């Protein structure tokens, strides 16, 4: 297959890996970053560095985003020199960011109505390790034909791609993903703290529980790091708090009670208020330990 012309915006820890894998797969990559030095490693691999999101969009057939939040997506797409200002009719936009489902639906409608462009919301799960291994899970919202068109691109870093419904449904599915992860991380932190306080070797719990009903990826990955106080490199607690904010807002809008998500949000907000946001999800164990002092 000949490489497709694809643009990538959002070269953070996750986006930089995804963009690199697109280049390695033979696609013709154009990138944009607010700080030119962020794009330098990809430029060294042959990627073109655009001066603005509009210039990037004018040079490609598909634009992929992986930015921080809803406001960042709105700015890079609809702002001055944004994607919409430069893209041709028929260009597709794929958004891997985790943002508000209702805003996503509005963005997709606006892009289609005003610019004759398609929108696929495609948040991912699997983190940087999943991107590195090409094993990300994609929950997509949009038109089947649009998703089919971009699947060869997503295959560079994703192992499973599922269409969840119309625009916004991918983001709504990611809300569920984050609710489940947040609750699981909080439960693991609570259990490990109790075990350590009783005298159990908490580090042995992942192996002891492996294969049982309590086993999970969160237990195997996060419990070991919690037991070792290995905070470095985890997802910043502010990102998880932002995702819980979205979940609770969607709960209010749809009349869906979310008492567990509300408690998890409170835990992350407490970490942030105490200056421990950089301890990320693993920091929930730190929160319990501090309370015990």
190's enclosing H/E stretch is helix 169-198
Q: If you search the block for the tokens 């306080």, which residue do you land on?
A: 197
Q: Are 143 and 118 in contact (CB under 8 A)?
A: yes
What CA–CA distance (Å, rounded) separates 38 from 113? 33
Which three-class secondary structure state does DSSP give residue 281?
A: coil
Catalytic residue (one of 20, 115, 174, 222) = 174
Which three-class secondary structure state does DSSP give residue 105?
A: helix
- Catalytic annotation present for 174: yes
Beta bridge partners of 7: 30, 63
Please give the DSSP secondary-structure letter assigned to residue 279: G
Furthest-apart CA atoms within the chain: distance in Å: 64
Q: Is 280 left (phi over 0), alpha (psi -120 to 50) or beta?
A: left
- Give whole-number Cα distances, 61 to 14, 16, 117, 246, in Å: 22, 20, 10, 31
- Give whole-number Cα distances, 173 to 44, 61, 276, 287, in Å: 36, 26, 28, 28
What CA–CA distance (Å, rounded) separates 72 from 57? 16
Q: Are 192 and 160 in contact (CB under 8 A)?
A: no
- Positive or negative CA dihedral for 7, 87, 140, 262? positive
Catalytic annotation, residues = 174
């Amino acid at each position: 297959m000949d490489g497709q012309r694809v643009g990538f915006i959002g070269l953070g820890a996750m986006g930089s890996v995804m963009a690199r894998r697109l280049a390695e797969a033979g696609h013709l990559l154009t990138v944009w970053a607010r700080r030119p030095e962020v794009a330098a490693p990809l430029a060294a691999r042959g990627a073109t560095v655009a001066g603005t999101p509009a210039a990037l969009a004018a040079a490609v057939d598909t634009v992929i985003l992986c930015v921080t939040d809803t406001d960042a997506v709105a700015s890079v797409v609809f702002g001055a020199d944004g994607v919409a200002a430069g893209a041709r009719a028929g260009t597709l936009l794929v958004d891997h960011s985790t943002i508000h489902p209702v805003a996503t639906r509005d963005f997709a409608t606006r892009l289609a109505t005003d610019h004759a462009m398609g929108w696929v919301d495609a948040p991912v799960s699997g983190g940087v390790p999943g991107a590195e291994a090409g094993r990300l899970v994609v929950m997509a919202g949009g038109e089947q034909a649009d998703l089919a068109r971009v699947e060869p691109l997503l295959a560079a870093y994703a192992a499973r791609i599922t269409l969840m419904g119309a625009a916004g449904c991918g983001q709504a599915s990611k809300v569920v993903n984050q609710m489940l992860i947040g609750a699981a991380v909080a439960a693991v932190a609570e259990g490990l703290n109790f075990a350590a306080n009783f005298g159990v070797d908490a580090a042995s719990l992942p192996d002891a529980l492996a294969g049982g009903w309590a086993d999970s990826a969160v237990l195997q990955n996060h419990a070991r790091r919690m037991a070792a106080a290995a905070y470095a490199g985890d997802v910043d607690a502010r990102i998880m708090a932002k995702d819980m904010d979205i979940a609770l807002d969607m709960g209010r809008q749809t009349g869906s009670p979310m008492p567990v998500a509300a408690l998890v949000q409170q835990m992350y907000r407490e970490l942030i208020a105490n200056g421990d946001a950089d301890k990320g999800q693993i920091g929930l164990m730190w929160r319990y330990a501090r309370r015990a002092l």
